Each structure stands twice: as structure tokens, then as C-alpha cells.
Amino acid sequence: MTAPDPRRLLIPVDDSVTVRNTVAYAVAQAQAIRGESDTPVELHFVVVPGTRAVDPDAPEELGAATDLLARVSVWTDEDLGDDPDPGLTVTTDVVGADRYLFSPGNYADVLLEYAEEHGIDRAILDPEYNPGGAAPMLRPLEIELARNGLDIEEAPVEREARPT
């Protein structure tokens, strides 16, 4: 088995308490890779919307997903600073909107298809990633992704302290 290509990173995002810190961690990882070599680095932030299929031509149905990706873009701009490295690119996308997704395997299939399409074999997961919004699915999703050859790293971020 060949080593994963660290130049392309997949970061699935969902509206969670740790998403902001996960974005910052992914940017820091990309900057570290750039610091070690002149190889271009691509960060691919993707949202897999809810469990029901939506019409991709109806933007109002994808409102929450596109709003989240807009926030991700702002955060990556902040984290990259005033003089961003031209060798580091950020891509945002909504994936799987045309499908009915109900299990970690379905979500994994969508993410794996995107990864294969873009030559990605490494993913950074938010520890609170839960795109279905119901049952926690990070562990089963990690297993499904790893079982299919994607190198998985959970972002080492902590939850924000909330006052009681």
C-alpha cells in the first residue's frame, strides 16, 4: 500500500460546536505540509446535506449547506492571513444532495466518490461531525471510510466551554 498523498485533504463539515476549530486545524495542517515542501496543497471542504434528497437546482433547499460553506470560506481566509500562500487552494462543495442518505455507509459512499473523483486519499474529520443530525455516526463513518482505503485523521479539537 502506498503512502497517502498529503497534498489533497478532504474535510467534511457540518454545523457543530467544533467545526470552526476543525477548519483552523485543517488550514494549519495544509500550511505545515507547504512548509515542508513546494508541493501545492488542496483543501476540499464538503457538506453532505441532511438525509433527504433535494433538488440541486433549488438553491433554497441547500441554504444551510451553502451558508455553512460561506462561513468556512471566511474562516479559511482568516486563518490564511493577509498574504495567503498561492500554493494552497481551498475548494468548497455540496455533495450527495441528489440522494437519500440514511446510514453511515451512504454518507461514506458520497465522500469516497468525491475523494476518488479528486484524487484524495486523506480526510480530516471534525470529532462532532454528524451530518444526519440524529444518531451519532462519526465512529461508524470513520470505519466505513477507512475500510475503503481513505486515510482518516480526527481533528484534535476540544469543545467550547459553555456556561451552565
Residue type, 41: V
pLDDT of 60 reads: 59
Structure pTM? 0.85
pLDDT tens for each residue of 86-131: 889 999 999 988 887 777 778 888 999 999 999 998 999 998 887 7
Closest CA to 117 of 133, 140, 95, 144: 95
| Mean pLDDT, residues 131-147 taken together | 70
pLDDT range class, residue 2, cuts 50, 70, 90: very low
| Model pLDDT, residue 4 | 41
Determine the pLDDT at residue 159: 63
Q: Mind listing the pLDDT tens digit for each residue in 35-69?
A: 888 889 999 999 988 656 555 555 556 788 889 99
Q: Which range, of 19-23, 41-45, 81-85, 91-95, averages the lowest pLDDT?
A: 81-85
Whether the CB-CB separation of 93 and 85 falls below 8 Å is answered with no
* pLDDT reported for residue 57: 59
H-helix segments, the chain: 19-36, 63-80, 104-117, 138-147
- What is the per-residue pLDDT for 93? 94
Q: How far apart are CA 71 and CA 15, in angstroms?
A: 10
* Cβ atoms of residues 141 and 101 within 8 Å: no
Burial of 91 (0-12, 13-18, 19+ CB in 10 A): middle
- For residue 3, name the pLDDT band (cuts at 50, 70, 90): very low
